Amino acid sequence: MKMNRILISNAVNLSLRSFAPQRSCVCYAAGGDSAGGRRISKTASNVYGQDSGRGSSRNDQTLNSGNDRSSSSQTSIEVPPPPTRSWRKGQNDVTATKIQRSNTGTLPKDLAYTVPEAQYQKIHSSRQVNTTSASSSTRIEMGNSSVVTADPTWVPRNPGVKDGPWNETDLRIVESAVQDAETAIRISKIDKEGFVMLGRSAEELSELVMKFGQPRFRGKQLLDGLLGGAHSINDIPVIPKQLKKSLKAAGVRTGRSIIHHSVEAPDGTRKFLLQQKDGRVVECVGIPVTASEELGRQERLTVCVSSQVGCPMRCTFCATGKGGFARNLSPHEILDQVMTVQEAFQQRVSNVVFMGMGEPLLNIQSVKDACKLINEQLGISAYNITISTVGIPQAIYRLGQAKLRATLAVSIHAPNQALREKIIPSAKAYPLEALMQDCVRYYDLTGRRVTFEVTLLAGVNDQDEHAKELAALLKRHRLMSHVNVIAWNPVDESEFKRPSGNRVMSFKRILDEAGIPTSIRMSRGLEAAAACGQLRNQHQKDPLKLFAVPT
């Protein structure tokens, strides 16, 4: 599969664009609009419209809305003009640096990182996007070669990040994350061995059984059996034996996982290691909450689900990222996690949070599809689904366009760019100011307030000045938000320390006094290594090891 060029800015910072879970990894030019800038792409032209090519231009900036796999449903997004002081008139004379990988590895040899100079373009105080179309493309000269980029119209950039070009280590970190994402996109469809029934609609299952000469209502029976807990075709009693035999002979399978191991903490939290068809193991957590009239809460069961096998983001405090990254999960594998917890607790799941293994927005299409399945087939309200992310360029906007009504939880972890880069390496590819602007746009699209999560690390980001700076950041963007403060959960082989209870309370108090709605998330499942940041498979020396697949 061909890889697309990835353009990374120099004098200010890096801003990777979209990770698109279609036929190729479509990355938007650093000079493009986050709502649909020009593509630097050699493939998937049938998904995003005409191919950009060299020297071509177009006036209408478009982005898929809703179902990303449909090329016909696109919404036109027009963007404000570039700041005149940032670019010279006519042909842009911009110093650029090209860093090429060796021909080892999976990325093509000519993968180019270009470094244009640009300034942060603020969205108007009204939060309305101007209606000025992008104009002609910009050609950046690089010695004897050149790269065609998009017209540098609206690119959010943090004015505080202007320390010159990245070093080799910085570039490699981002390059590796992009490699991982591209690999996940290419191998995420693991259903080549046969038709998977879980995650299909009654209509799709009806079409399946009709191919075997069965009446349409058999499809509804298959769906009812799956949602009723059937783990194999033989577990669906109302299906004729001959149909069961035919389905199995054709390679049709339910798509349910195997519980490889489970562990329970004293507080009732249970962690499950689920073995997938390809031998990979993913983790999910069931978190029960008992009813309490004194605390004014109802009984509920929350499931923390994974969206990837491992995680490529490599957040410094997180256990999952230390174990490496294998692939994205498919929608039915995410749905299976919810069903597994529901069956184990013999209780209806009320809430689903995408806070397990992986970065959900690097697997955005599967996550969106899974949310719809969880809502439509399991009857869990979309308002009770939370999607957590450290931030992926372009993806927050795409999530907002889908209008899932889910809650967006942004793992911000630091109130300024410099500190955030130390905690989250991928933040170098997504400046904090750009992230905040995308959160504003998400709120404008959905009307849903954004939750900001702050994992406090003792002596790193838990001081009073950090709380004051965070309050100022949120107030400056006038964003309806809520802050969730989390005391870091200890991870083996980590240099960080858990902050004291008094420090956590002081952090919350400062935010409260600033008028920022704040809550403290209580840690659950520490004894089972199931709390946030603890989702590492302690039963594998190699977290990405393949278990033997049962025949």
Which of the four pLDDT bands, split at 50, 70 and 90, describes residue 326? Answer: confident
pLDDT bracket for residue 476 (50, 70, 90): very high
Tokens of 395: 């993806």
Annotated domain spans of the chain? 1-187, 197-249, 258-528
**Predicted confidence (pLDDT) per residue in 430-472, tens digit:** 899 999 999 999 999 999 999 999 999 999 999 999 999 999 9
φ/ψ of residue 297, rounded to 5: -125, 150
Among candidate residues 78, 175, 182, 283, the one labeled active-site is 283
Task: Tell me whether the CATH fold assigned to 197-249 matches the one assigned to 258-528.
Answer: no
Is the pLDDT at 279 greater than 90? The verdict is no
What is the pLDDT at residue 278? Answer: 86
| CATH of the structural domain 197-249, one choice from 1.10.3720, 3.30.160, 1.10.3470, 1.10.150 | 1.10.150
At 14-43, the pLDDT tens digits run 333 333 333 333 333 333 333 333 333 333
Residue 176: what pLDDT? 60
Give me the mean pLDDT over the 135-158 stretch. Answer: 28
**How does the average pLDDT of the chain come out, rounded?**
70
Residues paired with residue 62 on neighbouring β-strands, in sequence order: 76
d(CA 507, CA 509): 6
**Secondary structure letter of residue 266 according to DSSP:** T
Could you tell me if 40 and 149 are in contact, meaning their C-beta atoms sit under 8 angstroms apart? yes
27, 304, 439, 532: the active-site residue: 532
Domain boundaries 258-528, corresponding CATH code: 3.20.20.70
Give the mean model confidence (pLDDT) for residues 83-99.
31
493 noted as active-site residue: no
pLDDT at 295: 61
More confident of the two residues 372 and 122: 372
β-bridge pairing 281-289 and 270-275: antiparallel
Could you tell me which residue, 299 or 384, shows the higher pLDDT? Answer: 384
> Residue 44 above 90 pLDDT?
no
Active site residue 283: yes
Nearest residue to 462 (alpha-carbon basis) of 431, 422, 508, 417: 508
Burial 151-163 (b: 16+ CB within 10 A, else e): bbbbbbbbeebee
Q: How far from each other are the two terminal CA atoms of the chain, in whole angstroms? A: 31
Which range of 7-11, 117-121, 329-333, 492-496 scores highest in mean pLDDT? It is: 329-333
State the amino acid at position 322 in one-letter form.
K
Q: Which residues on adjacent β-strands are paired with residue 286? A: 270, 303
pLDDT of residue 540: 56
Higher-confidence residue of 239 and 492: namely 239
Nearest to 218 by CA among 227, 228, 207: 207
Which residue, chain included where needed, has tokens 């060299």? 54
Where on the phi/psi map is residue 322: left (φ > 0), alpha (ψ -120 to 50), or beta?
A: alpha
